[in-house]
C-alpha cells in the first residue's frame, strides 16, 4: 500500500460512489449498479477485505474467478464494467492505487454468450433429487439440495441457518439476520422471513439433523444446520457441494460431454467440471420453476426475497410459451 492512500471501508466506498453517480444515471442504470456493487460487497465480505487500500490486481483476478462461476459471460462483462467505473472513482478519491481499474480484466466472450444466465434444467434437478433419495437419503447434500430447490434461498441464507431455525409444527424454516453472530442475509432484516417447505421436504431436512448431521457448534455457540467437523460450513464449501451435486457423472457413471472420467480434472476438482452449477443457478432455477408452475409472482417475490423488478429481469428464465401457458389458466373462458 502506498503512503498517500486514505483508508476506506468497502461498504462506505460503495455508498459514496453510488451517491456520486446517482444524479448522472437513469433509474435503470442506478438499479443495475446497486445490484452489481452489492455482489462486489458480498465478495469483499467473504474475502475479509476491510480496506480498499489493500486491493491488488491478484484480488481482482480472484473476484473474476469467483463471479464467473455464477453468471453468464455477457452478464459478467456488464458487472465488471460497473466495478471498473467504481475503481476509477476510488482511485480519484485516493482509496485505491492509480491504474488498478485497468487490472480488472473480463474473460473473452465465447460463442453464444448472449444467452441467458446459467441455470439448472428442472428435469435435471429432479433426477438429482431422485438419486439422492434412493442412494444418499438425508445426507448433507440431500438436505442442501432440498432446501435450495424448494426455497430458492441464497447461499448466504443457507449458510446462516441453525438447527433452532427449523419449525416442525409448521413444516417451515426461519431465516434471520444475525451479523453480530457471524451470519448475514443479503437484504439485512428485510430478508428475514418464514419459508414453508411442506411435509415431504421438511422431513428430509429433519432426518438429516437427526441421523447424519455432524454435531458441532460455531464460535458463537450456535448450532449450525450445515456443519463440517470444524463447525459451520463455509460459504465456499456450500458452492463446492453445489458443484458436486450437479456433476452428472457421479450419478450416471458417464460424462455428458464425452470426457474420460478417470482423466477429467473435474473428477478431482468439482469446480473444473464442465456441467457443474453453483448456488445461484439453483436459486434462478427454483424461482423460474415456481413461476412456471403458476405461483403468483408476488408470492415468489416475498418467498425468495427478491423485488418483482429484479425477479423479471434476472431470474425469470421461462420461455414465452411457458409464460403464456401460466397466463392461459387465469384467463376467463369465452362462451
- The pLDDT tens digits for 55-65 are 999 999 999 99
Percentage of residues of the chain with pLDDT beyond 70: 95
Alpha carbon distance 228, 46 (integer Å): 18
Looking at mean pLDDT, say which of 20-29, 118-127, 204-213, 248-257 comes out highest: 204-213
pLDDT > 50? residue 115? no
pLDDT digits (tens, 9 = 90+) for 185-198: 988 999 999 999 99
Residue ranges of the domains in the chain? 10-103, 122-279
pLDDT band at 334 (very low <50, low <70, confident <90, very high): low
- Residue 99: count of CB within 10 angstroms of its CB: 11
Percentage of residues of the chain with pLDDT beyond 90: 56
pLDDT band at 155 (very low <50, low <70, confident <90, very high): very high
**List of residues 6+ apart from 176 with CB closer than 8 A:** 160, 165, 185, 192
pLDDT band at 329 (very low <50, low <70, confident <90, very high): confident
- State the pLDDT at residue 31: 83
pLDDT band at 75 (very low <50, low <70, confident <90, very high): confident
With 0-12 CB in 10 A as exposed, 13-18 as middle and 19+ as buried, what is 167?
middle
**Partner residues linked to 172 by β-bridges:** 167, 196
pLDDT > 50? residue 218? yes
- State the pLDDT at residue 116: 41
Alpha carbon distance 284, 323 (integer Å): 16
pLDDT digits (tens, 9 = 90+) for 231-273: 999 988 998 899 889 887 877 777 777 777 877 877 777 777 8
More confident of the two residues 79 and 212: 212
Instruction: Give whole-number Cα distances, 260 to 19, 190, 246, 253, in Å.
Output: 52, 47, 17, 10
> Would you state the cell numbers that stand for residue 40, as one nine-digit string?
462486489
Return the DSSP state at 180.
G
CATH code of the region 122-279: 1.10.443
pTM above 0.75, yes or no: no
Q: Let me know if domain 10-103 sits in CATH 1.10.150.130.
A: yes
- State the pLDDT at residue 78: 81
Q: What are phi and psi of 48, to 5 degrees?
A: 75, 25
pLDDT band at 112 (very low <50, low <70, confident <90, very high): very low
Report the mean per-residue pLDDT for the chain. Answer: 88
Strands of 193-196's sheet, edge to edge?
166-167, 172-175, 193-196
- Look-up of cell digits 443495475: 32
Amino acid at each position: 500500500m502506498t503512503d498517500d492512500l486514505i483508508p476506506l471501508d468497502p461498504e462506505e466506498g460503495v455508498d459514496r460512489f453510488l451517491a456520486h453517480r446517482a444524479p448522472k444515471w437513469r433509474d435503470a442504470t442506478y438499479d443495475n449498479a446497486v445490484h452489481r456493487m452489492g455482489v462486489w460487497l458480498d465478495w469483499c465480505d467473504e474475502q475479509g477485505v476491510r480496506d480498499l487500500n489493500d486491493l491488488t490486481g491478484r484480488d481482482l483476478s480472484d473476484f473474476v474467478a469467483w463471479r464467473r462461476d455464477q453468471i453468464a459471460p455477457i452478464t459478467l462483462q456488464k458487472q465488471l464494467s460497473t466495478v471498473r467505473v467504481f475503481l476509477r472513482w476510488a482511485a480519484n478519491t485516493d482509496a485505491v492505487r492509480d491504474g488498478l481499474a485497468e487490472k480488472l480484466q473480463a474473460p473473452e466472450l465465447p460463442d453464444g454468450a448472449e444467452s441467458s444466465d446459467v441455470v439448472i434444467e428442472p428435469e435435471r434437478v429432479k433426477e438429482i433429487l431422485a438419486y439422492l433419495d434412493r442412494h444418499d437419503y438425508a445426507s448433507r447434500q440431500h438436505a442442501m439440495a432440498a432446501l435450495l430447490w424448494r426455497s430458492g434461498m441464497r447461499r448466504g441464507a443457507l449458510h446462516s441457518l441453525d438447527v433452532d431455525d427449523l419449525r416442525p409444527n409448521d413444516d417451515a424454516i426461519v431465516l434471520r439476520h444475525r451479523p453480530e453472530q457471524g451470519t448475514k442475509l443479503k437484504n439485512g432484516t428485510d430478508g428475514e422471513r418464514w419459508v414453508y417447505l411442506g411435509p415431504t421436504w421438511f422431513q428430509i431436512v429433519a432426518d438429516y439433523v437427526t441421523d447424519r448431521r455432524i454435531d458441532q457448534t460455531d464460535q458463537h455457540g450456535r448450532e449450525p444446520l450445515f456443519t463440517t467437523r470444524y463447525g459451520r460450513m463455509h460459504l465456499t464449501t456450500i458452492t463446492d457441494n453445489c458443484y458436486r451435486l450437479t456433476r452428472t457423472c457421479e450419478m450416471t457413471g458417464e460424462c455428458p460431454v464425452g470426457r474420460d472420467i478417470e482423466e477429467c480434472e473435474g473428477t478431482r476438482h468439482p469446480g473444473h467440471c464442465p456441467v457443474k452449477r453453483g448456488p445461484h443457478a439453483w436459486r434462478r432455477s427454483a424461482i423460474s420453476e415456481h413461476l412456471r408452475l403458476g405461483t403468483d409472482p408476488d408470492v415468489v417475490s416475498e418467498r425468495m426475497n427478491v423485488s418483482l423488478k429484479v425477479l423479471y429481469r434476472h431470474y425469470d428464465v421461462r420461455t414465452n410459451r411457458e409464460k403464456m401457458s401460466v397466463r392461459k389458466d387465469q384467463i376467463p373462458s369465452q362462451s
